[in-house]
């Protein structure tokens, strides 16, 4: 069974500025700073394809790998490679972040998407998958980007 959840947040900064945060490891650093209950550690890489990050959200812990970082289209994808929902019966848990320019210099939309697939024969309660953490992160990013833009 395939599933998808998504969330969009409009930000009053240009897409290029938002991508400077989302297209790099700066987003991980911001998450570490803003969410005391979240632990994010870069295990390898510099933010490009192949970067591996360990994430801990309370009782849920997993390792993800950056599988796509497209600076031209402003799309980043990560896939869980160990632990978390994979241990519970998912065969795929992918996060996609897209920065979509509305008015290139003045506003953009941050679209966060979770894609998942339940492994054949697994019984997995998909209701435990939530977009809330990505929505919360988008709001933190929005606040950070807006504050940074007004300070310039």
pLDDT values of the chain reduced to their tens digit, one per residue, 152 residues: 899 999 999 999 999 999 999 999 998 888 878 877 777 889 999 999 999 999 987 788 999 999 999 999 999 999 999 999 999 999 999 999 999 998 767 899 999 999 999 999 899 999 999 999 899 999 999 999 998 877 66
**pTM score of the predicted model:** 0.91
Count of domains forming the chain? 1
Sign of the four-CA dihedral 95, 41, 67, 118: negative
pLDDT at site 76: 97
pLDDT at site 104: 61
pLDDT at site 31: 84
Q: Domain span at residue 53?
A: 2-151
Compute how many other C-beta atoms are within 10 angstroms of the C-beta atom of residue 75: 18
Active-site pick, 26, 32, 68, 76: 76
With vertex at residue 41, the alpha carbon angle to CA 129 and CA 110, rounded to the nearest 5 degrees, is 50
Nearest to 139 by CA among 38, 48, 10, 26: 10
DSSP result, 41-105: EEEE-SSSTT-EEEEEETTEEEEEEEEEEETTTTEEEEEEEEETHHHHTEEEEEEEEEEEEEETT
76 carries an active-site annotation? yes
Instruction: Write the burial class of residue 140 (CB in 10 Å: 0-12 exposed, 13-18 middle, 19+ buried).
Output: middle
CATH number at residue 103: 3.30.530.20
């Amino acid at each position: 069974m395939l599933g998808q959840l998504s969330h969009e947040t409009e930000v009053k900064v240009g897409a290029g500025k938002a991508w400077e945060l989302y297209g790099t490891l700066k987003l991980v650093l911001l998450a570490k700073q803003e969410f005391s209950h979240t632990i994010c550690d870069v295990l390898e890489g510099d933010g490009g394809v192949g970067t591996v990050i360990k994430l801990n959200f309370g009782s849920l812990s997993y390792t993800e790998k950056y599988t796509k970082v497209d600076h031209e289209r402003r799309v980043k994808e990560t896939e869980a490679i160990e632990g978390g929902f994979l241990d519970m019966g998912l065969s795929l848990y992918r996060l996609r972040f897209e920065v979509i320019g509305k008015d290139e210099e003045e506003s953009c939309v941050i679209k966060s998407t979770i894609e998942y697939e339940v492994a054949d024969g697994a019984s997995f309660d998909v209701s435990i998958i939530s977009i809330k953490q990505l929505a919360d992160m988008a709001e933190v990013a929005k606040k950070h980007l807006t504050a940074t833009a007004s300070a310039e």
